[in-house]
Amino acid sequence: MRRLYKSLAVVFCLMFLVSCASWEQLSKDQQARVVLDITQEQLSTWREAGKQWVLALPETTDEEKELKLDKAKMWNSNVLPAMQVANDWIYSLMQELSKAEGSLDRYAVQRLVNPYISRVVFLLVEMGYIPE
Amino acid sequence: MAAAALAAVLGALGGAQGLVALITALSNTLFALWKLANQILGKENIPSWEDLMNKNRLEAEAQKADKNEIQVLIDRLESELDK
C-alpha cells in the first residue's frame, strides 16, 4: 500500500514539474481560465462534501436530532451564504478577465476585490469569528 | 488543497460520515490536480469563457437547490423535536 502511495506521489510530483515548465507557455487568458476552472470545481466540491456531511449526520435520538438541526442551520445561514459570495466573486472575475484577455491591472483587481472583502468580513462578524 | 483541509475538519467532526466526505473531497481534489496538469500540458481543452460562466451559473443554481434541501431537513427536524 505504501508503495502505491509513493508511486502516486511521484507521478503527481512529475506532473507538476512538467506542468510548471509548460505554464509559461500558456497565454495570460489561458492561465486565467485554467485557474478559474479549478477554483469553480473546488467550490462545487466543498459544497457537495459539506452538504453530504450534514445530511449523513445520525438522527436516532433527540440529542442527535438537535445536533443535526444545529449543523443544518449553521450550514444554511453561514456556510452557504459564504459560498454564494465566493461564486458571485468568481463570476465578477470571469467577466472582468474575459474583457481584459486574462490580465487585469491592480486598480481593476482592487475594484473587484474590495466589495467582496467587505462582505466576507461582515459574514465573519455575523458568525462570531470577529468581534463587532 | 482547500477542499482536502475542509474535508479533514469534516472528518474530525463527523466520524464515519465525515470520513466518506473526506475521501470524496480528497479524490475530487486529486482529480482536479490531474485535470489542471492535463490542461497545462495541452492534453485537455481549456474551457472557454462561455463554458466557465455556464459552470458558474450551474453552481449558483446548485447552491439555491442545496439551500432548499437543507431547509426541508431543518423544518422536518424542528417539527419532530416539537412533538
**CA gap A39, A36 in Å, rounded:** 5
Say what the pTM is.
Answer: 0.73
B3 contacts in chain A (CB < 8 Å): 42, 45-46, 49
B55 touches chain A (CB under 8 A): yes
pLDDT in tens, A85-113: 889 989 988 998 888 887 888 778 778 77
Residue A75 sits at φ, ψ, to 5 deg, of -60, -50
**CA gap A61, A73 in Å, rounded:** 18
Which of A51, A60, A89 should be substituted to probe chain B, the one whose Cβ sees the most B Cβ atoms within 10 Å?
A51
pLDDT in tens, B6-49: 555 555 555 666 677 777 777 777 777 777 777 777 777 889 99
Cα three-residue angle B57-B6-A62, rounded to 5 degrees: 100
Which of A42, A61, A67, A71 should be substituted to probe chain B, the one whose Cβ sees the most B Cβ atoms within 10 Å?
A42
CA distances in angstroms from A102 to A40, A65, A93, B70, listed in the order given: 16, 48, 10, 37
Which of B65, B82, B78, B79 has its CA nearest to residue A76?
Answer: B65
Task: Using CB atoms, pick whichever of A37, A62, A84 lies closest to residue B81.
Answer: A62
Check: CB of residue B32 under 8 Å from CB of residue B20.
no
Q: Check CB contact under 8 Å for A38 and B21.
A: no
Cα three-residue angle A95-A97-A99, rounded to 5 degrees: 70
